[in-house]
Chains A and B, each alone.
Chain A
């Protein structure tokens, strides 16, 4: 007997609707969840972000639930973004997210550092972007 797997009739659910937005949402969730504690306020911020990314709420909740359960490698997420300038912009967004809760902790810093490494952002540029984010968040 030959064993086989039959393909489905449709591709519904085979992939998230928005590929790059999924990468970014996971990165932001990784940053805000760096301390490993699930805070309802953090989840609300992430769902607001997902809405801004034009993701459906159910899809966003599935992605976030998985990310909070099994965290991603920030460097691997950074490597998914093809455009170098876009990687800088997303890193800057991650820095803003790190300051959304107040001060920048060691855990958030480590995740931002990993993303910067994966994105090929040098340490000087990364520090400048982080300092800009701190200023914008009123932490200078």
Chain B
């Protein structure tokens, strides 16, 4: 029964994601994970909401867990985690931020 409830929560999370309400989505997915800790898709979707919330480190933890469960979402989670790690490991963008600062000061 917990798994069914968890899936219902992921559906609520997907609705919130479609509305751009990422915090609400993350909460729904987090609760789904609590109810069904082996529901790998919930970890992937939780990670997705966290990425939109600007929390890539926490998202990577969820993606790694999804990969470790070795379920049907493993390849998606592995691909997304690699993409996020590549961006986080890229050279710092200090010149980009400095350029934006100039724009802000002119505003």
Q: Interface digits, A11-29 against B, CB 8 Å rule (1 contact, 0 not)?
A: 1001110111011111110
Q: Which of A63-92 contact B (CB under 8 A)?
A: 63, 65-66, 69-70, 72, 76-77, 79-80, 82-83, 85-86, 89-90, 92
Q: Which of A41-55 contact B (CB under 8 A)?
A: 45, 48-49, 52-53
Q: Is the CB of B20 within 8 A of A11?
A: no
Hey, which chain A residues are within 8 Å of B96, CB to CB?
Answer: 53
Q: Is the CB of A5 within 8 A of B42?
A: yes
Q: Is the CB of A23 within 8 A of B3?
A: no
Known: A23-B54, A52-B100, A53-B100. A86 touches B92 (CB 8 A): yes
Q: Tell me the count of chain A residues lying within 8 A, CB to CB, of chain B.
A: 49
Known: A7-B73, A97-B104. A70 touches B54 (CB 8 A): no
Number of chain B interface residues as a range: 35 or more
Hey, which chain B residues are within 8 Å of A114, CB to CB?
Answer: none
B61 adjacent to chain A (CB < 8 Å): no
Of chain B, the residue at the smallest CB distance from A88 is B94
Q: Which of B1-49 contact A (CB under 8 A)?
A: 3-4, 7, 10, 20-24, 39-42, 44, 48
A104 adjacent to chain B (CB < 8 Å): no
A16 to B53, CA, bound (A): 9
A40 adjacent to chain B (CB < 8 Å): no
A23 to B90, CA, bound (A): 15
Q: Is the CB of A7 within 8 A of B107?
A: no
Interface residues, chain A, with chain B CB atoms under 8 Å away:
3-8, 11, 14-16, 18-20, 22-28, 45, 48-49, 52-53, 62-63, 65-66, 69-70, 72, 76-77, 79-80, 82-83, 85-86, 89-90, 92-93, 96-97, 100, 136-137
